[in-house]
């Protein structure tokens, strides 16, 4: 990578950021697309947040991603927010256009594209969402936007699932939305697609699964948004029972590509980018993650 006075800077802000794969992924994309750009990660303390955002304008940082705990807070510091990001109530991608900061959200779209790539449609399908946190919010809302027939949200704390469920139900009258406890999963075995949005199974708790996948119907699709490890216990158990599975790496790649499309106005070679990154991560991600942990 040749860095000079003309190199454009992009970055990630959040706290913590030390274990993020984003710099590896984005710099890899920049390199194979011959872009004179570099991507960095900055740990940002809450007390410094406003000053950091203002400095990005002064330094002409071309764009940045936002991770926890700032996806909502960043919205108060932007000049413009794209419609879907406003609907989701969070921003994870910001573009600097001549000093004007514009916010986007690629979480839901990244998830939706990963389903499309697997030939799975969203419209008129029944979804079972495990968990009611930030990822669940983005994914459930995007599913409603895309015309899902029914969305069931299960969470250990029912009240949290209820708040999310009612929020979506109020905005999308054509989608059936309900909520319940994770303990009652057997009531919802008619779901077409089950999505794990909990942390169950994430390193270092790799022997945990959010639910027992052996109780699910054989034509159910299992999606786990976790990517550390690449194949969670939830996915392994489902594979043994011959269910179709999708891992979190797919969503991660799509989010990165979508961010770059926003920043660089580049909508070409999407498939090429995805396949190259997928190959890079398949052979390197476990080593990368182990070094970061």
d(CA 111, CA 251): 5
Region for residue 89 given its phi and psi (left: phi exceeds 0; alpha: psi -120 to 50; beta: otherwise):
left
Look at residues 90, 286, 92, 261 and name the one whose alpha carbon lies nearest to residue 203. 286
What does the alpha-carbon distance between residue 184 and residue 228 come to, in Å, rounded to a whole number?
27
Q: What is the DSSP letter of 185?
A: G
DSSP SS3 for 283: helix
Q: Please give the positions annotated as active site.
A: 71
Give the CA distances from residue 206 to residues 221, 226, 286, in Å, rounded to whole numbers and listed in that order.
Answer: 21, 11, 14
- Residues with Cβ within 8 Å of residue 269, at least 6 apart in sequence: 33
Are residues 129 and 152 in contact, defined by beta-carbon separation less than 8 angstroms?
Answer: yes
Two tokens at 256? 């990165």
Q: Which two tokens stand for residue 57?
A: 């304008």
Q: N- to C-terminal Cα distance for the chain? A: 26
The 8 Å CB, 24+ separation contacts for 267-273 are 269/33, 273/29, 273/33
């Amino acid at each position: 990578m040749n860095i000079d006075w003309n190199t454009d800077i992009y970055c990630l802000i959040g706290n913590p950021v030390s274990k993020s794969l984003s710099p590896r992924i984005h710099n890899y994309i920049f390199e194979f697309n011959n872009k004179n750009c570099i991507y960095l990660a900055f740990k940002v303390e809450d007390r410094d947040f406003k000053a950091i955002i203002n400095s990005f304008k002064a330094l002409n940082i071309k764009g940045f991603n936002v991770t926890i705990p700032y996806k909502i807070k960043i919205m108060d510091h932007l000049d413009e927010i794209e419609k879907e990001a406003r609907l989701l109530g969070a921003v994870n991608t910001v573009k600097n256009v001549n000093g004007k900061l514009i916010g986007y959200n690629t979480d839901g779209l990244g998830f939706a594209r990963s389903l499309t790539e697997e030939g799975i449609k969203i419209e008129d399908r029944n979804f079972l969402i495990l968990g009611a946190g930030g990822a669940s919010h983005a994914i459930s809302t995007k599913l409603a936007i895309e015309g899902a027939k029914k969305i069931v949200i299960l969470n250990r704390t029912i009240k949290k699932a209820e708040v999310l469920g009612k929020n979506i139900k109020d905005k999308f009258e054509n989608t059936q939305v309900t909520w319940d406890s994770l303990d009652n999963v057997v009531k919802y075995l008619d779901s077409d697609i089950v999505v794990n949005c909990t942390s169950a199974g994430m390193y270092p708790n790799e022997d945990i699964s959010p639910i027992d996948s052996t109780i699910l119907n054989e034509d159910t699709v299992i999606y786990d948004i976790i990517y550390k490890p690449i194949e969670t216990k939830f996915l392994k158990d489902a594979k043994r029972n011959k269910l179709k599975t999708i891992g979190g790496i797919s969503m991660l790649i799509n989010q990165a590509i979508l961010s770059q499309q926003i920043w660089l106005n580049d909508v070409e070679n999407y498939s090429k980018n995805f396949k190259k990154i997928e190959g890079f991560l398949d052979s390197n991600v476990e080593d990368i993650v182990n070094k970061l942990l």
